[in-house]
Chain A
Amino acid sequence: MRWLRLLLSGLVLVLASLRWPEQLAARGFTPVWLLLPGLCAGLASTPGRAALTGFCFGLLADLCSLEPLGVHAVAFGVAALLLSRIRGYFFCDHPATQAVLGFVLSLLVLVALLSRLAAAEPSFRAASRLPVALAAAVATAALLPLLAAGDRRLGLFTDSRRGGADVQS
Chain B
Amino acid sequence: MWQRLKTLRAELLLALSLLLPVLAPRAGGLGMVVLSGIAPVLPAAASGESGGDSFREMAMRLVAENADLRDRLLALGEPARLVARDAAFAARRFARVEAGVLARDASLFRGSLLIGAGIGEGLAEGQPVVVGEALVGVIAEVGPLASRVRLLTDPGCRAWAGIVSGPETAEGFIEGTGDGVLEMRLVRAGGGREGDPVFTVPADERVPRGLFVGTVRSADDVDRDGVAEIVLDPALPAARIRVVNVLVPGGS
Which of A's residues lie within 8 Å of B, judged by CB?
11, 14-15, 17-23, 25-26, 28, 30, 32, 34, 47-48, 50-52, 55, 61-74, 77-78, 81, 110, 113-114, 117, 120-121, 123-126, 128-129, 132-133, 136
Contacts and interface: CB of A to CB of B under 8 A. Distances in A.
B156 interface: yes
A19 B47 CA distance: 11
Nearest to B25: A68
B42 A113 contact: no
Contacts, number: 148
Given A19-B49, A66-B148, A48 B9 contact: yes
A6 B109 CA distance: 27
9 contacts: A26-B180, A34-B106, A51-B11, A66-B112, A74-B14, A123-B155, A126-B178, A128-B178, A129-B108
Say which size band chain B's interface belongs to: 35 or more
Given A74-B18, A121-B155, A14 B110 contact: no
B120 interface: no
A74 to B, nearest CB: 5
Most chain B beta-carbon neighbours within 10 Å: one of A30, A66, A70, A72: A66
A64 B177 contact: no
A90 B17 CA distance: 29
Nearest to B17: A74
Contact of B178 (A21, A70, A125, A136): A125
Contact of B42 (A19, A22, A65, A70): A19
Interface string B156-188: 100000000000000000011111100100000
A117 B24 CA distance: 17
Given A18-B103, A28-B108, A117 B14 contact: no
